[in-house]
């Protein structure tokens, strides 16, 4: 589905990002694995080796997406290696959950800088290459950005911002055949949700019509569809992958 396409997936050494990168590579894309400076480069190399062992093509590039300059270096390295960029998946994200009364300025700023400013940084630098030949930008939002969540004012604000950013840039880039969409996962089995207590998991599951958390593959399949030519008339869309939770 992605034969000969070049894709960057930010924050792709583990979790949903890794799942998307592996699925993209399986579907013929040349993939850029991205990891932040504090992460271990060896893990990124291992993901590249895993992709190569399955016949795929990948490189690993260290860049903190919250840095404007490092995001530029990530895009530049992709273009100098593969000559173009077709798909950008802005997946990197963090949580620093706290009730608002106790949330520090640093906890608010950090989440916004990675989750929202990071999406701006990578999209801004990728746009120059993409506006020449078209492309697909996929931003990882969250149902929390639509419905809000106790203890996640910073995270919800960042993801609501991602949704507004997605729709605005979709309007700006539509004529140039650059599609910009968001995925809003609900609760996905992952390190991020493993931190939740059993009682919270139980009460969340009770509110999901499908009565289970989603899998990382559920999210990756949606990213595959949006990145592919099956979605060529879809832009400015927010696709919820949440088992019906936020209807
Ligand atoms: P995860 O397991 O915590 O993975 C996040 C990845 O982003 C990690 O590889 C992390 O690297 C990387 N990262 C963090 N800060 C970065 C930075 N400044 N620059 C570049 N990379 C950075 O999270 P996940 O569950 O896979 O979530 C992926 C995305 O889906 C996030 O945007 C998240 O908000 C969204 N989402 C997740 C869920 C869920 O239920 N899991 C639900 C809704 C939305 P390090 O590990 O080295 O820090």
Per the domain annotation, does 71 fall within a domain? yes
The tally of domains found in the chain comes to: 1
Tally of CA atoms within 13 A in the half-sphere of 217 that contains its CB:
1
Ligand 1 mean position, distance from CA 17 (Å): 7
Per the domain annotation, does 160 fall within a domain? yes
Does residue 140's CB lie within 6 angstroms of at least one atom of ligand 1? yes
Structure tokens at 151: 């203890």
Does residue 145's CB lie within 6 angstroms of at least one atom of ligand 1? no
Does residue 93's CB lie within 6 angstroms of at least one atom of ligand 1? yes
pLDDT of residue 39: 78
Whole-angstrom distance, CA of residue 247 vs CA of residue 207 = 11
Which residue of the set 35, 82, 155, 233 is catalytic? 155
pLDDT of residue 37: 87
pLDDT at 216 over 90: yes
pLDDT digits (tens, 9 = 90+) for 33-44: 999 987 778 999
> Taking all residues of the chain, what is their mean pLDDT, rounded to a whole number?
97
CATH of the domain at 175: 3.40.50.720
Per the domain annotation, does 247 fall within a domain? no
Does residue 188's CB lie within 6 angstroms of at least one atom of ligand 1? yes
Does residue 87's CB lie within 6 angstroms of at least one atom of ligand 1? no
Boundaries of domain holding 58: 6-240
Residue 218's H or E segment, with its range, is helix 216-227
Residue with tokens 């016949």: 55
Ligand 1 mean position, distance from CA 92 (Å): 5
Ligand 1 mean position, distance from CA 76 (Å): 22
Cβ atoms of 170 and 228 within 8 Å: the answer is no
Per the domain annotation, does 45 fall within a domain? yes
Name the percent of the chain lying above pLDDT 90: 96
Per the domain annotation, does 246 fall within a domain? no
Of all protein residues, whose CA lies closest to atom 32 belonging to ligand 1?
93
Does residue 192's CB lie within 6 angstroms of at least one atom of ligand 1? yes
Per the domain annotation, does 87 fall within a domain? yes
pTM of the full predicted structure?
Answer: 0.98
Of all protein residues, whose CA lies closest to atom 45 belonging to ligand 1?
39
pLDDT digits (tens, 9 = 90+) for 149-203: 999 999 999 999 999 999 999 999 999 999 999 999 999 999 989 988 999 899 9
Indicate the Cα dihedral angle 110, 236, 14, 32, nearest 10°: -100
Ligand 1 mean position, distance from CA 217 (Å): 15
DSSP 134: -
Phi/psi for 243 (5° steps) reads 60, 20
Tell me the Cα Rg of the chain: 17
Per the domain annotation, does 245 fall within a domain? no
Per the domain annotation, does 1 fall within a domain? no
Whole-angstrom distance, CA of residue 85 vs CA of residue 77 = 11
């Amino acid at each position: 589905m992605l034969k000969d396409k070049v894709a960057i997936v930010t924050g792709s050494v583990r979790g949903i990002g890794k799942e998307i990168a592996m699925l993209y590579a399986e579907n013929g894309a040349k993939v850029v694995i991205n990891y932040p400076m504090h992460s271990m480069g060896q893990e990124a190399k291992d993901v590249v080796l895993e992709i190569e062992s399955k016949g795929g093509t990948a490189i690993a590039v260290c860049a903190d997406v919250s840095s404007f300059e490092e995001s530029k270096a990530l895009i530049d390295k992709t273009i100098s290696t593969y000559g173009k960029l077709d798909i950008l998946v802005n997946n990197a994200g963090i949580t620093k959950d706290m009730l608002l009364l106790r949330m520090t300025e640093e906890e608010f700023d950090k989440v916004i800088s990675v989750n929202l400013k990071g999406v701006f940084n990578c999209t801004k630098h990728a746009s120059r290459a993409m506006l020449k030949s078209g492309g697909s930008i996929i931003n990882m939002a969250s149902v929390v950005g639509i419905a809000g969540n106790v203890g996640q004012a910073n995270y919800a604000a960042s993801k609501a911002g991602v949704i507004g950013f997605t729709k605005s840039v979709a309007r700006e880039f539509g004529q140039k055949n650059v599609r910009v969409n968001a995925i809003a996962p609900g609760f996905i089995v992952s390190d991020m949700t493993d931190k939740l207590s059993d009682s919270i998991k139980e009460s969340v599951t009770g509110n999901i019509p499908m009565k289970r958390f989603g899998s990382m593959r559920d999210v990756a399949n949606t990213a595959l569809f949006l990145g592919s030519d099956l979605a060529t008339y879809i832009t400015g869309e927010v696709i919820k992958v949440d088992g019906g939770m936020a209807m």
